[in-house]
Chain A
Amino acid sequence: MGNQLLVRLYNVDVGDCIYVRLPNGNEDFHILIDCGSLGVKSILKSALEHLEQELPVDAATGKKRLDLLVATHIHEDHIKGFDPEYFKNIQINHIWLSAVMDPAHSQAEHTLRLHNFASQKMRELAVSGLALTPELESLMALYSITNDGALDALRVDLPQANHILPKYVHAGRSSNDPDLNLGLNNQTTIHVLAPEKDIDHFYLGQAASNLQGFTAFSNRVRAEAAPAAVSAPANISASDFRLLQTRMLSNLLAFADLDGATQNNMSVVLLIEWRKRRLLFVGDAEWDNAFKDGTRNSSWNVMWNKRQAQLNSPIDFLKIGHHGSINATPWSSANDAEFEPNKILDAILPLPQAGSKPSAKAIVSTIRKNYPTIPAANLLVEIGKRVGNTQKYKSKLEEAGKNPNVLNLFAEFEAVMLDELQPTRTDIEKILTGQDFVEVTIDPAD
């Protein structure tokens, strides 16, 4: 217990497992945001065991007490660790889930249908063991069967074990709402900035018709098709036909990609306001060129247009989205300051005036796999200009006697910008300190 707010990101491979400790009168308030990884599950178990030791004892149950559990969205790298077994010694007082995780949510009908379709098809394809690029393998991994258990745990098992109901939250809600009351004192408010309640309208838009059209026309094509026995055309060779099949547009992959983006955009985005400090936890919310009503939008653009009053001012902490991917922090070096994504970044993390140092902080939970844009080095360097907790990691590694080459694909994606200031990274800090988490503290500003 103290006067500082603590944010800790566990080093969980490609994934998020975030602990926030808020001073709240005589007692601290303990939040866990996400617990997932694309790596092995045991890494999450270890993180939770570490966290469990630090949580206070709940007087009523004798278990450790977690005041709020938040699952931002349903991807494996955010929820794989929600195994009831891992939480058996923890009393959870509140669970907030994204509105889209409510199977009965009436304004997510098309989004849910898209997800179910993509899940079914990608799982069918996964068993065929096809060779895919690393990017496509990551896409397919989103539909892992292991996610089903985590989702059930969040919706049913954990609420039942803790005698609570999960709250499916959407933009506009906050801890000030009576039904979301968390027992926080008046120094803290937790706002939900995303997703909007009308999910189909804002995040799918016209794209909803694609699946309908695809299904309807696939049926039409099947009706026109030759008998199943005719499996190859008579007027080209078998090898040309095989080649053709690999070079046609795959709607299954496209729908999975659309669903992947949509689910990222369903991320619960939390703005924690505490003693005149603003902390932003964005899940994997994505950005696009600009908001357009009636079309498929990305979360950052929707927030900018619908929740600007809360978003349009500097923040003190950013949980960098999507493990440092280029698609989850609104910024494009190719465009000017009037480009909507750049306006958003300038609003929340403005570049410091000449001669002054930025005071905001940011952390990215990441590790380089085979994917060039996770993390995106140029993005991290850009954020590094706007926050204070930065390192020149190449020099730091060398000073510590570590060879930067230990980073996967160092020459390809890291070398070019590793000696520029970057915000705190879980992967490199692990190499430097051996510690399984990184954390920052925030002082009050009132």
Chain B
Amino acid sequence: MMRREYLFVLVTLCLCILGIVAVYSVDPLRDEGFGPKSFFGRQILWNVVGWALFLLFRFFDFQWLFRRSWLWYLLSVFSLGAVLVFGESDETGAKRWLFSRSVQPSEFAKLALLFFLSSYLSTNRDELDFWSLLVKSAFFAAVPALLVFLQPDLGTVLVLGVLWFGALFLGGWHRRKLGLLLGLVASLSPLSWFIMKDYQRKRVLAFLDPWQDPLGSGYNVVQSQIAIGSGGVLGQGWLSGKQTQLRFLPARYTDFIFAAFCEQFGFVGGMVLLTLFILFFWIVLETAQRVRNLEERFFASLFGILFLFQVGINVGMNLGIAPVTGIPLPFVSYGGSSLLVHLAGAGMIARLIWRTEQEERERWI
């Protein structure tokens, strides 16, 4: 009965390998071979570190992480503050980086908030479904979200918001309260138009009708759809998609790597990726159901929701059915911070799988 863990590791490994394959295919420096400067070289390096983390959390108990969740929370808030003060900007002018563009604290903030909310809600389990806890937890989620918003990184704000809402949902809050909350957010969201920056407004308009301005604000969406569409059923083959190789596709390493992948491997390749994603998600939630400990259950199911949301938004925007926000595709997109966070999380899930299986076996015996 150790099969589920093997399957999980296999799925995760496949995702990582496909990620490296995809990054390699869009790497402008790949002709210079494997090296610390090439994108795929770094991606492999991050994978090595990431898998070390995976094993670490797989074989060592991580209960202490929950006990110190306040510390992680404060650290993340602190580092997000540091980004705003000392951070370095990227091409778009947003400040998202620390340590000469090697660390993206907003990625770690996701995990920190995840731990914090799991631990906070489960400690206050008796107050679940009370308005006061809702307001308090909202406050705690809002602090890092606001800091990320100031960077600005709308995508991560969205992810943090979904984490919080997901926590309420999984915490068993009454449907009416959640409905009210959703209604409130929905009715207030048009107001966000007024605090959005110009480029963000353009993105929203481009999402509504990308072909309006295919060379301007709709460019990303249009080019991404062209890339996916021209892949056809079987794709144009590895390293030979014109959209990708001639660099029509923007953000090929990160946000639009799914499109680059589909251009090369077609509908079949895309379906393989999607299937791996849904398998991953399914195993994580299945595990959450089996875990007896409440905070671990919160953790596992929230991690699943975090994963699902990011995949949904990223693939959705690649396919032109979700607005363009800078959310990376877990395991596949180029980028160390995101990869480390997700591999660490996956390691913990693997441990939970292993433990639940053992508990079940003990009970069986």
Q: Answer yes or no: are A and B bound together in one complex.
A: no
A interface residues (Cβ-Cβ under 8 A, vs B): none
